[in-house]
Amino acid sequence: MANRRSFLRGVSALSGGMFLAPHLSEAIGSKIGNFNRKHASLSNREIAEDDEFWYWVRQAFTGSENINNLNSGVVSPQPKSVQDTFDRYIRISNEAPPLYGGQIIEQSTAAVKSKLAKIAGCLPEEVALSRNTTESLETIIFGLNLKKGDEVVLTKVDHHRMKYAWRQRAQRDGIVLKWIEIDPAMDSTEHMVKRYVDQFNPKTKAIEVTHLINWSGQILPVRAIADEARKRDIDVIVDGAHSFCHFDFKIPDLNCDYFGTSLHKWLCAPYGTGMLYVRKGKAKNVWPLYASPDPLSDEINKFEYQGTENYAKAEGIAESIGFHEMIGIERKEARLRYLKNYWANKAAKIPKVKIVTTLSDEYSCAICLFHIEGTKPFEIGEILEKKYKILVRPIDHENVKGLRVTPHIFTTIRELDDLIDAITVLAA
| CA separation for the pair 98, 143 (Å, rounded) | 31
Q: 185: which DSSP letter?
A: T
CA distance 411 to 177: 40
CA dist., res. 389 & res. 93, Å (int): 38
Domain that holds residue 377: 331-427
Claim to verify: residue 180 and residue 272 sit in the same structural domain: yes
Claim to verify: residue 170 and residue 220 sit in the same structural domain: yes
Q: Which amino acid is at 124?
A: P
Give the pLDDT of residue 269: 98
Q: How far is CA 233 from the centre of its chain?
A: 28
> Residue 186: its pLDDT value, please?
84
Neighbours of 394 (CB within 10 A): 19
| Domain-located, residue 47 | no
CA distance 334 to 339: 9
Q: Across the 428 residues of the chain, what is the mean pLDDT of every consecutive 10-residue run?
A: 46 40 42 58 88 91 95 94 95 86 81 97 98 98 98 96 97 97 88 96 98 96 98 98 98 98 98 97 97 95 91 94 94 97 98 96 96 97 98 91 97 98 97
Instruction: Compute the distance between CA of residue 176 and CA of residue 96 in angstroms, rounded to an integer.
Output: 50
Residue 291's CB is within 10 A of a number of other CB atoms, namely 9
Do 287 and 340 fall into the same domain? no
Strand locations in 168-289 (E) = 176-180, 204-210, 235-239, 258-262, 274-278
Task: Choose one of 252, 286, 320: the last residue of a domain.
Answer: 320
Is residue 222 situated within a structural domain? yes
Contact 423, 354 (CB under 8 A): no
Longest dimension (CA), the chain: 69
State the CATH number of the domain containing residue 173.
3.40.640.10
CATH at 401: 3.90.1150.10
Q: Are residues 275 and 364 in the same domain?
A: no
Domain for residue 200, yes or no? yes
Q: Is residue 365 one of the residues assigned to a domain?
A: yes
The residue from 263, 297, 320 where one domain ends is 320
Domain-located, residue 419: yes
Alpha-carbon distance of 376 to 76, in angstroms, equals: 26
Closest CA to 180 of 205, 163, 155, 214: 155
Task: Based on the fold, state whether residues 214 and 351 are members of the same structural domain.
Answer: no
Q: Domain check: are 417 and 285 in the same one?
A: no
Question: Looking at residue 36, what is its pLDDT?
Answer: 54
Q: How many angstroms from the chain centroid is the CA of residue 378?
A: 24
Instruction: State the pLDDT at residue 107.
Output: 86
Do β-strands 274-278 and 258-262 pair in parallel, antiparallel, or remain unpaired?
antiparallel
- 242 and 215 together in one domain: yes
Same domain, 35 and 123: no
| 8-state DSSP, 124 | G
**Domain assignment present for 210:** yes
Q: Is residue 73 part of a domain?
A: no
* 88, HSE (Cβ side, Cα atoms, 13 Å): 10
> What pLDDT does residue 100 have?
76
Q: Which amino acid does the sequence have at 370? A: F
Residues 128 and 203 in one domain: yes
The predicted structure's pLDDT at residue 35: 57
Asked whether residue 174 falls in the same domain as residue 124, the answer is yes
CB 274 within 8 A of CB 136: yes
Domains contained in the chain, number:
3
Whether residue 281 is found in the same domain as residue 161: yes
Q: Which of 24, 41, 58 is the last residue of a domain?
A: 41
Q: Are 54 and 409 in contact, with CB atoms under 8 Å apart? A: yes
Q: Is there a domain that residue 76 lies in?
A: no
Q: Are residues 152 and 178 in the same domain?
A: yes
186 close to 358: Cβ distance less than 8 angstroms: yes
Number of H helices and number of E strands within the chain? Answer: 16, 13
Closest listed residue to residue 309, CA positions, set 320, 301, 297:
301
User: What does each C-alpha distance from 203 to 148, 171, 222 come to in angstroms?
Assistant: 10, 18, 21
CA 369-393-243 angle, to 5 degrees, is 65
- Nearest Cα neighbor of 148 from 203, 208, 207 is 203
